[in-house]
Amino acid sequence: MLEQRQSETTMAVLNIVRDLLANHGFDAPIGLDDNLGEKGLTSTDMVSLMLSVEDKFNVSIPDREMRPANFRSVSAINALVCGLLTER
């Protein structure tokens, strides 16, 4: 059950990232641990990513979690979201 939810979350985050990169014409494959900044996400994209994650999973990212490490890669965002969903 938990694994299934994590997998769904991962896919959803991955899709958000792919959509953001597609806006810049990038369609290279993305690994779960790839550095999203290095993959081409801009500053505005990172904010869009944060807001999209909040919308998609109906969570509010608290101030203490707003740090670069949590948005560095798809796995990091996934861990953040799963943690917030568990806290709920």
Partner 1 sequence: MNPQITFREIDDSNLASVAELLARGFPKRRHEFWRRALNRLTEHQPPPGVPTYGYFMEAQGIPVGVVLTIFSTSREGDALTTRCNPCAWYVDAPFRAYAGLLFAKAVAGKNVTYVNVSPAPHTLQMMEALGFSRYCNGLFVAIPVLTRASGARRAVIFSARREPSVSFDPFEQELLARHATQGCISLWCATTDKAYPFVFRRRWIGGLIPCMQMIYCNAVEDFVQFAAPIGRFLARRGAFFVIVDANNPISGLFGLYRHGSALKYFKGPQRPRLGDLAYTEFAVLGI
Q: What residues make contact with partner 1 under the rule CB under 8 A?
A: 35-37, 41-48, 50-51, 63, 66-69, 71-72
Helices (H), 1-88: 2-22, 36-39, 43-57, 74-87
From the CB of 75, what's the least distance to partner 1, in Å?
Answer: 14
Nearer to partner 1, 22 or 51 (CB): 51
Nearer to partner 1, 12 or 46 (CB): 46
Long-range (24+ apart) CB contacts under 8 A made by 5-8 are 5/82, 5/85, 6/78, 6/82
Closest to 77 (Cα-Cα) out of 23, 4, 24, 15: 15
Nearer to partner 1, 1 or 25 (CB): 25
From the CB of 23, what's the least distance to partner 1, in Å?
Answer: 12
From the CB of 11, what's the least distance to partner 1, in Å?
Answer: 23
Q: Locate tokens 């740090």: which residue? A: 67
